Amino acid sequence: MTVNFNLYMNDVVRQAREEAVNAGYRELRTPEEVDEAFAKKGTTLVLINSVCGCAGGIARPAAAHAIHYDKRPDQLVSVFAGQDKEATARARSYFTGYPPSSPSFALLKDGKIVKMIERHQIEGHDPAAVVAELQALFKEYCKEL
């Protein structure tokens, strides 16, 4: 049996995108979309999505569950590392002081980085622990919706 690697990866990427979108995150696929989203006033949670196991098993489930909280960001967006390269690079240009990391989360307020949850804080951790970290950020920086 032969497996077409590109076909397989396209399916993996499609599923990873759908999981984020179905959880309520708007995909930013171009640098212009990133700039437009980050220019909005208020808080923005950015999911830096990827196809690795810790993204699928920890980060995306945490992204979906963390937003069920009294306080949450004004907007939820995602960029896809390794797929939408220019959009991801533009998003990372806002994350001053943090090295590139995926999967990861960035919380911005009025377009400025407030805090990141980096890959090393996701990989090897329980999704519930990542949810708790996200919700602690929401409690500190976000308003009730």
Catalytic residues: 52, 54
Q: Are strands 75-80 and 43-49 parallel, antiparallel or unpaired?
A: parallel
How many Å separate Cα 67 from the centre of its chain? 12
Q: Is 111 left (phi over 0), alpha (psi -120 to 50) or beta?
A: left
Q: What residue spans of the chain are helical by DSSP H?
A: 5-22, 31-38, 53-54, 60-66, 85-93, 127-141
Specify the DSSP element, H or E, that contains 95.
none
Helix, strand, coil percentages (3-state) for the chain, rounded to 5, are 45, 20, 30
